[in-house]
Structure 1
């Protein structure tokens, strides 16, 4: 088993999602872990060169186009190599952080992680498990104002990943102790 850990909280010292992802990783008890810390090493936004390059068949790309897609190719390779993906996703303004959105933009590529068919889009990243640690001050997971978990579930499903478990610490501003205790219990249940 191999794990891809993605941290997206800008808070690198007292982050609830980072604490939860630590606990999730410990519960999974795997030593083959790739860490992608999007706060410590931010990803670039997609550019015109990138957008053009992704539409050019691989064998026809020039050196500049290959260079533009190099990081995207690396991120997709990390995703493909992982059996389990653990994502720390704080809720910023009702959605995922820009750092996590940049990762999604770089891995969601036609012909690589999904393809278009006569029956519609088909995800190409299959057989993966995702565990998402969500934290928010007061945006309840699954509520009308939760665009973060619904978006993440949708985009993961779009690329073929439908086995998604959400660990929610989603009422930190109301009762942090109870919220964290509930999230920790959900992490503990992963091992059961």
Structure 2
């Protein structure tokens, strides 16, 4: 039985293209792997706190100052446990101001932990989260792929792919819908293309 980790980070709710795409990707993976277990993380509804001085103090061996911090540390630890337990990881990553949502950045900060998800060795950093398949549902209003004029401003896919590779997740497929703000025709065509890519995914 496969375990699918389904992560969403868009603040747009039912209007979100990335959420629609992650739902389609998860449905496709369930069809390809009958009996799969899906673990859902909505980083907008149930987000961990951003890192603070209180977190860093605990990481350095200090006391957990209050119950809220203790609960938040448990949430961050669960993020890592879910990452290791998953066989397939589906991440919804819209572009906000040329980067990923702050909610998703918060998740990245909590799963990028030296000694847990990566380590430094004699040959440099080594990712420890390996042997998993990742799908990123990327949604953005402009066009930033290939040799588009806006490509240099893409700190969304480029950042996320880099940090995933850093912790060992290198088998990544990006399902992209871009140009979503360039008119209804362009939006519909881009979403249709992304959905066709999802339906063509093989086990």
TM-score, normalised to structure 1, is 0.91
Report the 3-state secondary structure (helix = DSSP H, G, I; strand = E; otherwise coil) of the residue aligned with 2:15: coil
Q: 1:36 to 1:113 in 2, by over 3 A?
A: same
> Which of 149, 154, 171 is the matching residue for 2:157?
149
Q: 1:52 to 1:63 in 2, by over 3 A?
A: closer
Spell out, residue by residue over 1:84-138, the C-alpha distance to the aligned partner (whole angstroms, 9 max, x if none).
1100111001110000000001111111111111211111101111100010110
Please tell me whether residue 46 in structure 1 is matched to residue 51 in structure 2.
Answer: yes
Spell out, residue by residue over 1:141-162, the C-alpha distance to the aligned partner (whole angstroms, 9 max, x if none).
3522211001000000000110
Question: Does the 8 Å contact 2:140/2:180 carry over to 1?
Answer: yes
Alignment match, 1:181 = 192
Question: Does the 8 Å contact 2:136/2:172 carry over to 1?
Answer: yes
Structure 1 residue 62: Cα displacement: 4.4
Separation in 2 of the partners of 1:70 and 1:110? 17
Separation in 2 of the partners of 1:79 and 1:178? 33
Separation in 2 of the partners of 1:137 and 1:168? 11
Structure 1 residue 50: Cα displacement: 1.4
User: Superposition RMSD on alpha carbons, in Å?
Assistant: 1.8
Within a 5 Å distance, the mapping from 1:81-120 to structure 2 comes to 81-120=85-124
Question: Does the 8 Å contact 1:131/1:165 carry over to 2?
Answer: yes
Spell out, residue by residue over 1:37-77, the C-alpha distance to the aligned partner (whole angstroms, 9 max, x if none).
01112221111121233344xxxx64559936322211100
Separation in 2 of the partners of 1:113 and 1:170? 31
Please tell me whether residue 170 in structure 1 is matched to residue 178 in structure 2.
Answer: yes
Alignment match, 2:167 = 159
Separation in 1 of the partners of 2:193 and 2:117? 34
Question: Does the 8 Å contact 2:91/2:137 carry over to 1?
Answer: yes
Please tell me whether residue 75 in structure 1 is matched to residue 86 in structure 2.
Answer: no
Unaligned runs of 5+ in 1: none
Unaligned runs of 5+ in 2: none
